[in-house]
Each structure stands twice: as C-alpha cells, then as structure tokens.
Structure 1
C-alpha cells in the first residue's frame, strides 16, 4: 500500500539521519544546549519522501488528511482558530506540574536563571524553535496526517508518539524507569498534539514547533533529567499524561464514541491549484 511505503521511507531515513547528525555535531562546534542536530532527522525523512512522491507529500504538508474542521460547538474549546492558544497553555501546564511535583519531592526548586546559561537565551530560544520544527515537520506535519488516513485520531496520535519515542534511541540505554517515563511523555504529548491539531491546516508546523519548544525550554530551566535521573523523567511523563486527559475527554463524543473515529481519505496524487492554500 502507498501509505506503508511512505511511512517506511520516512522512518528508514529519519532514524539513521539522526544518528549521522549526532555523530557530526562535535565537528560543527554547535553546542547541544543551543540545538541538537539530531532534531533534523525527521526533516531529512520528509525531504527524501518528497523526492519520491512530490505531489502526495505536498498534500500531507498542506494538511490534507488532518480531519474535518471542528463544529461551531467545538470552537469554544479548541477549534481551528483557538487550538494554538490551548496547545501552548498545555505545554506550560506540563512544565509547571512536572517542576512543581519535582520541587515538592526533592525539596528544592531547581530553577535555572536564563542569564546563567553559557549562551544568550534569545539564541537558544530561536535555535530550539528551528530544531523543534525540524522534528515536527516529520512527526506532526507528515506522519500524523499519513496515519490518519488509516486510523482514528487517538490511535494515530499514540502510534506517532511511540515511534517518536523510539526514535530517541539513546533513552533505551538509561534505566528502565527513565525509559518508561520518557515513552509515557512522548505518547501523551503526541496525543495532545494530534487531538489539538485535528482539523487544523494553517500553521500546523509553528503550532507543533511552539509546543515542542516550550516543553524543551521548560525542561532546560526547571529539571535535571538530562543526567539520567529517573524521578524527574517519571514526573514529566506523569505531567504529560495528566495534561492529555482533558484533550482525550473533549475528543470523546456522546455514548463514549469518538468524533472522526474513522480514517480520513488519503491525499490525492494531484492537488488542484485552488486547494493549495490553508483553509
């Protein structure tokens, strides 16, 4: 099937490209605190897929296969015009919950003054946004719409989250509790992103990249999970899970059934010129 071929090509490039970029980073002199080159592995996967299926991948990136627009009742929560605000607020909620729980557990609020970082914070923010978009163009702008042509929104989002977590292969060298917390976080965040962006075509990359950037910056300034400590990662995963609950509850229809629980039509091989812009 065409969708399987697209997914295989994307993943077959994204995984090794991330490893190659990680090996290349020391030679570039770019500090990992500023941006990790591995983040551009998914972008490389999209690029190769686009060289093979240019029209079809253009349809994915244009947002075809992301679900119908929300109904008038839905817009009071997170319709296409408001999804971004709720999504960014969710990112802040994740960080506040995780950092607050960690401070209570550890007895120390591990807050880092942005001015104490080795590089200008403005540079870090901009580089983090670029790096996050390098990931999200693959996960949320390509793979999520692709899987939505075969699965419902929750299943597609959870599957993307598992693949996203597995793509961070280095976490599997950590303690089991750390790995479990990380995978819980990636699946829960993917569910938030998938459900929040369901039906949204305009600015999908900026919305997903903004959420991703806020979470990364929050972890940089409030947590110390990078050293492999299990507790902050488990708390982070738990915070992500809690943040996903309202999005899942909102997505449920009457009698426990999902809105848009059916797969969506695949992007056509050719896209009429009138449909190139975002709705």
Structure 2
C-alpha cells in the first residue's frame, strides 16, 4: 500500500504483488489471527445482541467482529500493520472520481436485480421508510458504522495483506470467499441460496478490490459507503433476507455483472499506464 506516512504507493513486482508485509509465514500468521478473531467475535457478538434492545434492522453487532480482528493483529504486529493501514481515512482529490464511481455502482447493482425481479415475477418489492420498524436516518447512520466495522477488516487489512503476495483479482476473490464463509448462518439456507450468496460476496469483493486498487486514502470510507448502500438497497427493494432463492440469485448475477465491468475497465486503464 504505502509507507508509514501514507504518502507514496508501493510498486507491484512482476507478478503484480505489493512488497512490504514481511515473510510469507508471518503473513499467514496475521491472516490466521485476524480470521480467528473475526469469526469468534462475530459469533459472540451475534449471541450477545439477542440480550440487547438493538434491532438487527438497525445494525448487526456481528459486523464489528472483523474490526476486533484488526485490533488484535495491530497489537501483535504493530509496526507492520500500521504501515498496511496507513492512509485508510486520508483522502486524495485525484481518487474522487473512482470513489464516486464505486459508490454509484452499489445502487446500480440493486436497481438491476430489482428490475429483473419485477420482470420475472411482476412484483415490485419496495419497502418505504414508513414500512420500516425504525427511523430511516438512524438505520443509515448505524448501517454505515457497521459496514465500516466489517470493511476495516476485509478491505483495509486482509485485502492489502494478501495483495502483497498476489494480484488484485486473486486477492479479491480470496477475500470474497472468506467474507462469504464468515456469514456462517447463510449455510443453513437452501444450497442454491448459499451458493448464490458466495457468488455475490466474491463479485462485490472484486468490485471493491478493483476500485480500491492503488487508492492510498479513504479506503474505509469508500468501502464502508459502498457496503452500506448495498445493504440499504436490499433492505428497501429486495426480500433476500427471507431465504427466498430467486432474489439472492438475481443479486449475485447483478454483482457478477458489475465485477466483470470493473475488472475489464481496470485492465484497460492499467494498459496505458504500464
């Protein structure tokens, strides 16, 4: 990603990997510690939420599991992790267009799957603010905070960590698979639903990985904003949380479409730069 002050970008080697995260064994250890804490903390937080008045419609406490994983890894490998996380919240004007395009992609994904759902079923799924159990403004703020809790781990730590050893597509797919498996409750659903969910997380991870590639600042804000917009769009326009297979399949295919477009666009932009 960059040096400790976040002012420069490391150049990828011939294989497309970024330097600066230490020996391979230590990278494996960091990833293993992060994933262990993220999984265990998410389970504990999910169980704890049942004893709180916090509704899951507003925020799911499990989303802060990855943030706790980052905290533990940062304590154990303080210097190296500070370098990986440098500039997470710092912005840069020249990345504004890419960030805006990333944020615009989220409602486009939701609009595509909602439109196809309406075309297939003839049923427009829309829940207005008055149909929600909680104020929309509260949901928006809480969803953004929760999304940042997730993305601090997936896109601001694990993605750059894996990126030091492999290219953007491979690291994005790997993070997407782990991110999907982390939602362990989805595997209690129909196998087709679970498979579509994994395709969706991989596709969204590829979109995020492509958009955030070489972005030295504001990674957390853009990733969290994209994640929040996806969650809000699904809450208002789709019913995939019911366990219905069709909306999840359509969401996965819409995400896959966006991932292909972003991947091709990134490769085309990288050609002249090289």
- Shorter-chain TM band: 0.7 to 0.9
Aligned positions of 1:1-279 closer than 5 A: 1-62=25-86, 80-252=95-267
- Whole-Å Cα distance in 2 between the matches of residues 120 and 201 of structure 1? 35
Question: Post-superposition shift, 1:251?
Answer: 2.3
Q: Deviations over 1:102-139 (max 9, x none)?
A: 11111110111112211110000000000000000000
Q: Deviations over 1:3-35 (max 9, x none)?
A: 111101100100011000000001111000000
- Whole-Å Cα distance in 2 between the matches of residues 239 and 24 of structure 1? 34
Q: Deviations over 1:155-174 (max 9, x none)?
A: 00110000000000011111
Q: Deviations over 1:171-194 (max 9, x none)?
A: 111111101110111000000000
TM-score normalised by the chain length of structure 2: 0.86
Q: Is the 8 A contact 1:184 1:237 kept in 2?
A: yes
TM-score normalised by the chain length of structure 1: 0.85
- Whole-Å Cα distance in 2 between the matches of residues 218 and 81 of structure 1? 23
Equivalences, count: 247
- SS for the counterpart of 1:185 is helix
Q: Is the 8 A contact 1:63 1:145 kept in 2?
A: no
- SS for the counterpart of 1:112 is coil
Unaligned 5+ residue runs, structure 2? 1-24
Q: Evaluate the alpha carbon distance shift between residue 173 and residue 258 of structure 1 in structure 2; reply closer, same or farther with a 3 A threshold.
A: farther
Unaligned 5+ residue runs, structure 1? 70-74, 261-279
Question: Post-superposition shift, 1:257?
Answer: 8.0
- SS for the counterpart of 1:82 is helix
Question: Post-superposition shift, 1:91?
Answer: 0.5
Q: 2:18 matched to which residue of 1?
A: none
- Whole-Å Cα distance in 2 between the matches of residues 97 and 51 of structure 1? 42
Q: Is the 8 A contact 1:43 1:134 kept in 2?
A: yes
Q: Is the 8 A contact 1:136 1:208 kept in 2?
A: yes
Q: Is the 8 A contact 1:251 1:258 kept in 2?
A: no
